Amino acid sequence: MQLLNGLIPTTTALQELDLRHNKLADAGTVALADGLKKCNKQLNTIRLARNGITDKGATALASFLADTDASKGVKTLDLSLNAMRDDKALGNALATNTGLTTLDLSSNALRTGRAIAAALSKNRTLTHGHLLFNPLDVGSAAALAEALRASRADGVPLTLCGTSPDAEAILLSRRGMRSGDAMLLAAELETAPKVRTVDLSYNMLGPEAAA
pLDDT at residue number 14: 83
Distance CA(157)–CA(13), nearest Å, equals 31
Is the separation of the CB atoms in 173 and 203 below 8 Å? yes
Is 185 exposed, middle or buried (CB count within 10 Å of its CB: 0-12, 13-18, 19+)?
buried
Question: Residues 6 or more apart from 211 whose CB is under 8 A from it?
Answer: none
Predicted TM-score (pTM) of the model is 0.94
Distance CA(136)–CA(207), nearest Å, equals 16
pLDDT at residue number 75: 98
Rounded to the nearest angstrom, the gap between the alpha carbon of residue 68 and the centroid of all alpha carbons in its chain is: 18
pLDDT at residue number 42: 84
Nearest to 184 by CA among 135, 137, 131, 105: 131
pLDDT at residue number 13: 79
Q: Which residues pair with 17 in a beta bridge?
A: 46
Please give the helix or strand (H or E) that residue 45 lies within, else none.
Answer: strand 45-47
Distance CA(126)–CA(4), nearest Å, equals 27
pLDDT at residue number 165: 84
pLDDT at residue number 9: 65
Scanning 121-204, the segments in alpha helix (DSSP H) are 138-153, 179-189
pLDDT at residue number 63: 97
Q: Do the strands 169-171 and 128-130 form a parallel or antiparallel pair, or are they unpaired? A: unpaired
Distance CA(21)–CA(24), nearest Å, equals 8
Collapse the DSSP code of 54 into the 3-class scheme (helix H, G, I; strand E, B; otherwise coil) and give the result: coil
pLDDT at residue number 1: 61
Question: Residues 6 or more apart from 29 whose CB is under 8 A from it?
Answer: 48, 51, 53, 56, 57, 58, 60, 61
Q: What is the mean pLDDT of each run of 10 residues along the chain (211 residues)?
A: 65 87 95 86 93 98 94 96 98 96 98 97 96 96 97 94 92 95 95 94 84 63
pLDDT at residue number 107: 98
